[in-house]
């Protein structure tokens, strides 16, 4: 059985999220998705608009997802090893960066392949939040 893993905040769930999950599920037998807990989102200097409990339920309810689990830290290799995942799926906006080149070496050493999917252009939770703030005059704390 091929187990795949991907992770994200999944705040303001959008077509880019769906594309990643759909493509990932097409390459594995079981897709496990890590959903970043609210406390960890602050590493980006942000706060999610949707609470963790709601975000994980949205992801869990997606037909491409076999299991959704909380992501408590940024150590994707540790989680992949714990789950027995042989693939990690990420957006290609990370491809070629020094950080991810290093990850590729580390993951390969453990028999885990990193698969990059095309980033869905023109949509992101950050852009949606910025648009809402501009159009509605919202403030996000």
pLDDT over threshold 70, residue 141:
no
Residue 126 lies in a domain: yes
Report yes or no on 48 lying in a domain: yes
- Whole domain around residue 83: which residue ranges? 3-136
Whether 114 is in a domain gets the answer yes
Question: Which of 66, 75, 10 has its CA nearest to residue 38?
Answer: 10
- Quote the strand ranges of the chain, DSSP E: 3-8, 30-36, 67-71, 87-91, 113-117
- The answer to whether residues 81 and 110 touch, using CB atoms and an 8 Å cutoff, is yes
Quick check: is 85 in a domain?
A: yes
Say if 43 falls within a structural domain: yes
As a whole number, mean pLDDT of residues 38-47 equals 80
Q: What per-residue confidence (pLDDT) applies to 127?
A: 60
Interval 86-104: pLDDT, tens: 999 998 888 888 999 999 9
Specify the CATH number for the domain of residue 49: 3.40.50.620
Q: Domain for residue 141, yes or no?
A: no
CB atoms within 10 A of CB 2: 12
Residue 46 is assigned to a structural domain of this protein: yes
Count of domains for the chain: 1
Find out whether 119 and 25 touch, Cβ atoms under 8 Å: no
pLDDT of 140 strictly over 60: no
Residue 99 lies in a domain: yes
In the predicted model, what is the mean pLDDT of the chain? 88
The sheet carrying 113-117 orders its strands as: 67-71, 30-36, 3-8, 87-91, 113-117
């Amino acid at each position: 059985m091929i187990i795949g893993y991907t992770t994200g905040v999944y705040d303001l769930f959008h077509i880019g999220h769906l594309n990643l999950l759909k493509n990932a599920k097409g390459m594995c037998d079981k897709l496990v998705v890590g959903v970043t807990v609210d406390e960890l989102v602050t590493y980006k200097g942000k706060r999610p608009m949707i609470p963790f409990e709601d975000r994980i339920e949205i992801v869990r309810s997606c037909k491409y997802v076999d299991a959704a689990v909380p992501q408590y830290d940024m150590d994707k290799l540790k989680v992949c090893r714990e789950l027995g995942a042989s693939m990690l799926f990420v957006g290609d906006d990370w491809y070629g960066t020094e950080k991810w080149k290093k990850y590729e070496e580390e993951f390969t050493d453990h028999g885990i392949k990193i698969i990059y999917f095309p980033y869905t252009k023109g949509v992101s939770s950050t852009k949606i939040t910025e648009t809402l703030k501009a159009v509605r005059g919202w403030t996000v704390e």
